[in-house]
Amino acid sequence: RALRWANGRAPTRGLRASPRARIAMPSWVIDRYGSNEVLRFTTEMVFPIIHFPNEVIIKVHAASLNPIDLSMRSGYGATALNMKRDPLKLKAGETEFPLTLGRDVSGVVMECGLGVSYFKPGDEVWAAIPPWKQGTLSEFVVASGNEVSFKPKRLSHTEAAALPYVGLTAWSALNQVGGLNQSNCSGKRILILGASGGVGTFAVQLMKAWDAHVTAVCSHDASTLVKKLGADDVIDYKSGNLEEQLKTLPLFDFILDNVGGSTEKWALDLLKKWSGATYVTLVTPFLINMDKLGVADGMLQTGVTVGSKTLKHLLKGVHYRWAFFMPSGPNLDEIAELVDSGKIQPVIDEVFSFSEVPEAFLKLEGGHARGKTVINVISRQ
């Protein structure tokens, strides 16, 4: 980020107040957990306030939906998220409602806290807001400065909103947990299970940008898209027994599993043994354990599960890991560079207007999306 300052950005900026006081704003919220009927549009959502010096308020131009939004709408993970929202239980009797969903944002900085030196009002930015915070299906959203990055110059707000959450989720799995980077990927054989969704399409492009050999698994009708993104081999999981198809190929150095389920029972056998090969899954029981067993027992059960699986597979010569979304402005900086260099592009399935948020949720709920479902909060992006 120092490069931004070297290019003429002032290193220090004070508080910037919004041009006029606001107390309410339009937003899509839920007041209880359930299916699509719990979504409610309101013009009276409380306007976000800067509580900490490192926060910024962003005027939302575009947002997008992710599977986590469906899960959160239904109440999945509420126990863990509420613990994160109020770990000391200081707000006894209060609830998380009304709750705004949506994790991705592309927009313009409206106001900065006193400790923010990297952004100023008017900057075009993008971010992925953690799920324990109020979301982005709203006119404005507050974010920590370290969660925010300058939007890629070559993308519109609509295009940019398709990338932050899936990009950071894939980055967490491949780089932070899996240890892959630009300097060690050349020639490595990478298998991506579930390659046509948001995380999968990003992961294919990132691995090709880092010069890996990518085998992608998806359905036949998504194969053209995945090949266009650079995958070297594309396997149709509907064309026969997937395990048997993959066993005919050379062994892999790394597997990213976006599917979960029974896949885990056989996928690790496709890795090269005693070579540092790694399997990383994004489908874990962490949140469901917390929901079913409570915080203490859920965390204990989760620790026992991941520990036993890690040891079991380590004794067989491969590494077993779980990965989760992690908010990070600096990582978004790196992703933005890849986007502006043409190595990564957003994959958008459909764009909806702000008034069509329920329809967008139904679209996502229908499954088989080829990329992201984007919401234009401000029209004409």
CB 373 within 8 A of CB 362: no
CB 318 within 8 A of CB 134: no
pLDDT at 34: 97
The CATH number that domain 24-164+345-376 falls under is: 3.90.180.10
pLDDT at 369: 75
CB 344 within 8 A of CB 202: yes
Q: Mean pLDDT across the stretch 265-272?
A: 97
Percent of the chain with pLDDT over 90: 87
pLDDT at 14: 44
Give tens-digit pLDDT for 97-156: 999 999 999 999 999 999 999 999 999 999 999 999 999 999 999 999 999 999 999 999
Least confident of 11-25, 69-83, 183-197, 328-342: 11-25
Give tens-digit pLDDT for 50-98: 999 999 999 999 999 999 999 999 999 999 999 999 888 888 778 999 9
* Other Cβ atoms closer than 10 A to 100: 20
- Provide the residue ranges of all domains of the chain, joining segments of one domain with +: 24-164+345-376, 178-322
Class of domain 178-322: alpha beta
pLDDT at 1: 54
Question: pTM value?
Answer: 0.92
pLDDT at 21: 61
**Nearest residue to 201 (alpha-carbon basis) of 179, 213, 216:** 216
Q: Mean pLDDT across the stretch 235-239?
A: 93
In Å, what is the CA distance from 14 to each residue of 4, 10, 54, 114, 260?
Answer: 17, 11, 11, 5, 47
Cα dihedral 226, 227, 233, 234 in deg (nearest 10):
50
